[in-house]
């Protein structure tokens, strides 16, 4: 009989975040986020242009055109960050994110970190690092637990 193994929950939800990231319309980074509470997915989000508007895949990247480094001048971008979209999607459907865990493919920028503090999340889990670590002090002050895990395998295992 074939041995069946199951990923532990953090690995599982980080894999889900990685799949969500595939929907990104950003030319620089594909980032996905998943809000979870009690093993239940509350909402998902990825980085990309506002709904229904032309995106960077179609129009090109404003930040590349202006040589703006990652982590700077967030306002010069068509995209909405994955963490912002996970909050927006929850709000659109009346889902409270309080005490949830956010699983994201990258650590947050300071703008997203502030929003997550106000959403009253309890925990943030990631395997990738954003270009700055300004969120760390803010999350410590807000008592948000941060776990940086190793990148999960991209292999999906299932029985045939």
Output the average pLDDT for the chain. 91
> What sign for the dihedral angle of Cα 139, 140, 144, 149?
positive
Q: What's the mean pLDDT in 138-148?
A: 97
- Considering only residues 33 and 59, tell me which one the structure prediction assigns the higher pLDDT: 33
The model's pLDDT over 43-83, given as tens digits with 9 standing for 90+, comes to: 999 999 888 888 778 877 777 788 888 777 877 777 889 99
Residue with the two structure tokens 């979870």: 36
- In whole angstroms, give the CA distance from residue 132 to residue 138: 13
Residues with active-site annotation: 83
C-alpha 7 chain-centroid distance = 20
The model's pLDDT over 90-102, given as tens digits with 9 standing for 90+, comes to: 999 999 999 999 9
Q: What is the DSSP string of the chain?
A: --------HHHHHHHHHHHHHTT---SS---EEEEEETTEEEEEEE-EEPTTS--HHHH--HHHHTTPPTTS-TTS-SEE-HHHHHHHHHHHTT---TT-EEEESSPPPHHHHHHHHHTT--EEEESS--S--THHHHHHHTT-EEEE-PPPPS------
- In whole angstroms, give the CA distance from residue 101 to residue 59: 34
């Amino acid at each position: 009989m074939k041995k069946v193994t199951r990923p532990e929950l953090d690995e599982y939800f980080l894999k889900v975040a990685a799949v969500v990231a595939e929907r990104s319309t950003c030319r620089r980074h594909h980032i996905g986020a998943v809000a979870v509470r009690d093993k239940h997915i509350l909402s998902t989000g990825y980085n990309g242009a506002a709904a229904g508007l032309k995106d960077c895949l179609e129009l090109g990247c404003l930040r590349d055109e202006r040589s703006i480094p990652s982590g700077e001048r967030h306002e010069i971008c068509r995209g909405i960050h994955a963490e912002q979209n996970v909050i927006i999607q929850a709000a659109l459907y009346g889902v409270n994110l309080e005490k949830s865990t956010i699983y994201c493919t990258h650590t947050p920028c300071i703008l997203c970190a502030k929003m997550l503090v106000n959403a009253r999340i309890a925990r943030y889990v990631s395997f990738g690092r954003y270009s700055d670590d300004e969120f760390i002090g803010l999350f410590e002050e807000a008592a948000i637990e941060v776990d940086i895990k190793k990148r999960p395998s991209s292999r999906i295992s299932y029985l045939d």
